[in-house]
Amino acid sequence: MIEYIISVDENDKEIGPIEKMEAHFNGILHRAFSIFIFNSNNQLLLQKRNKEKYHSGGLWTNTCCSHPRYRENLEDAIYRRLKEEMGFTCELSEIFSFSYKVNFENDLIENEYDHVFIGTFDGEIVPNGNEVEDYRWIDIDEVKLDIINNPHSYTFWFKYSFNKVIEFIKLSSVKNNN
């Protein structure tokens, strides 16, 4: 099925629709999102991407990541995709955004303006096997260590954004304690 996503400029201003694979073949900047879900024990829910994904298959990454469809607003997209990939929804808050560009071995190019969201969830996980090969709850310090010891086991965007997410959570915790 052909899917149209949203091409954007460097300020995340919408340019128009672009077919998803065309964006990835030609490295066109497009809107994306990454979701980080924590449980009440402050563990992060990671997913291992299905090895059949068009890029980064078999790698560990944040809880959910995707693109809003053309004419779909970002808020609707984050809840839709979290439900589709992991089988649940929860309240989400945007904490920052960033742009990145990376070339993959299969000649695809990820060029994204990525909005990062966090949330908390303690319920049942029902992952979509077409999207998710495996999942696990993991302590933050374990993730940090594993990224150092096994950097090729994680997606580029996860390694890029993980420390910023943790920094945000620590700053929020300090503000809430004052």
- Which residues are the active-site residues? 65, 112
| CB of 119 closer than 8 Å to CB of 79 | no
Q: What angle do CA 137, 38, 83 make, to 5 degrees?
A: 90
